[in-house]
A and B are shown apart, each in its own frame.
Chain A
Amino acid sequence: KQEVTQIPAALSVPEGENLVLNCSFTDSAIYNLQWFRQDPGKGLTSLLLIQSSQREQTSGRLNASLDKSSGRSTLYIAASQPGDSATYLCAVPDDKIIFGKGTRLHILP
């Protein structure tokens, strides 16, 4: 049974810093991995989707990497801004999507 874990659960960093969010999954036989952003009380915004054949995907200041063999993915955020404050969810498909609990990110102005 696929399980997704995200570390850390919460993170506070000063504005401008680069940061890394971690995601691990137990079953490496995945087709893709998706990173979402969730603002408090809001819906899920898809940030990046990495196919299993890819090593990384980039969108603006975001870069997601995937290492299937080790069951890990990272989301790198460059030059963080207060507007990046949100919860970031990692998710893998297993017929349905299995979500991690998320990392709650707070960027300090």
Chain B
Amino acid sequence: EPEVTQTPSHQVTQMGQEVILRCVPISNHLYFYWYRQILGQKVEFLVSFYNNEISEKSEIFDDQFSVERPDGSNFTLKIRSTKLEDSAMYFCASTWDRVADQPQHFGDGTRLSIL
């Protein structure tokens, strides 16, 4: 069964540095998402992406964050000038139709540790 893949599985970065988290969604999917889970807390929506543009973003997704689909397969989340509180698990998800109608498929996540 096709799956969403995320790399790296664990990223350790110094505070203030930029980090790029990578995701390869399922190939025929059209809608892409990033979620975040701070240790011990809920999984939170960050951003959704469709047709090469952001369709919705949460209040967490400020100017520090950006997303990109640089080619036909990758979907990236860039975090500029990382802060300690950016430490979390970041999950990528994809679906071929709107989330209301179809399940989202999640990757295994990238654990981001900011030192």
Within 8 A of B (CB), among A46-98: 46, 49, 89, 91, 93, 95-98
Give the number of residue pairs across the A-B interface with Cβ within 8 Å: 56
Contact B42 A95 (CB under 8 A): no
A interface residues, tally (CB under 8 Å): 22
Residues of A within 8 A of B107 (CB): 43
Contacts of B103 in A (CB 8 A): 32, 34, 46, 49
Q: Are B42 and A44 in contact (CB under 8 A)?
A: no
Interface pair B99/A93, CB less than 8 Å apart: yes
Nearest neighbor of A96 in chain B, beta-carbon distance: B45
A89: nearest chain-B partner, CB-CB: B43
Contact A100-B42, Cβ < 8 Å, known A46-B105, A95-B48, A95-B56: yes
- Nearest-Cβ distance from residue A40 to partner chain B, whole angstroms: 10
Knowing A96-B56, A98-B45, the reply to whether A41 touches B104 (Cβ < 8 A) is: no
- Minimum-distance CB pairs A-B, first 3: A43-B108, A31-B100, A96-B45
